[in-house]
Amino acid sequence: MSGPPRKIVTLLGQLHVEGRLYWAAAERVCLHYRTMVPIGLFVAGVVCIAASVLTGEAEVSLFLIFPVFSGASGLFLLGTLLIILSFIAGFILLTVGQIERP
């Protein structure tokens, strides 16, 4: 397993000036990588649902102006769960970020 990305190490080295770490800048770096988890989960969920629609395992209909997706396959269920998990993970990671502030 490799170490942390070189870009982060370089940036944190630049932020560490005279024995102090500039917390605002370090927090932005951590928040940026922290937001990638929910975004990745959401994109994976959308891809799973799109794949199930394209294979015919799920259907898309229109209610007024809102698209409605319905299906009974495992891939559709996985996509739905990933999207729900992305919202839960996003809120949890935002809460953890607020608790960790010095």
Q: Quick: pLDDT tens for 11-70.
A: 666 655 555 555 555 555 555 667 788 989 999 999 999 999 899 898 888 888 888 888
**93 touches 100 (CB < 8 A):** no
Domain that holds residue 47: 35-102
pLDDT recorded at residue 2: 59
Compute the half-sphere exposure of residue 42: CA atoms within 13 Å on the CB side of its CA. 10
Please name the helix (run of DSSP H) or strand (run of DSSP E) that holds residue 82, with its range, or none.
Answer: helix 74-99
* Count of residues in the chain: 102
- Number of domains comprising the chain: 2
Q: Are residues 67 and 82 in the same domain?
A: yes
Q: Are residues 27 and 41 in the same domain?
A: no
**DSSP result, 6-74:** HHHHHHHHHHEETTEE-HHHHHHHHHHHHTHHHHHHHHHHHHHHHHHHHTTSEEEEEETTEEEEEE-SH
pLDDT recorded at residue 86: 93
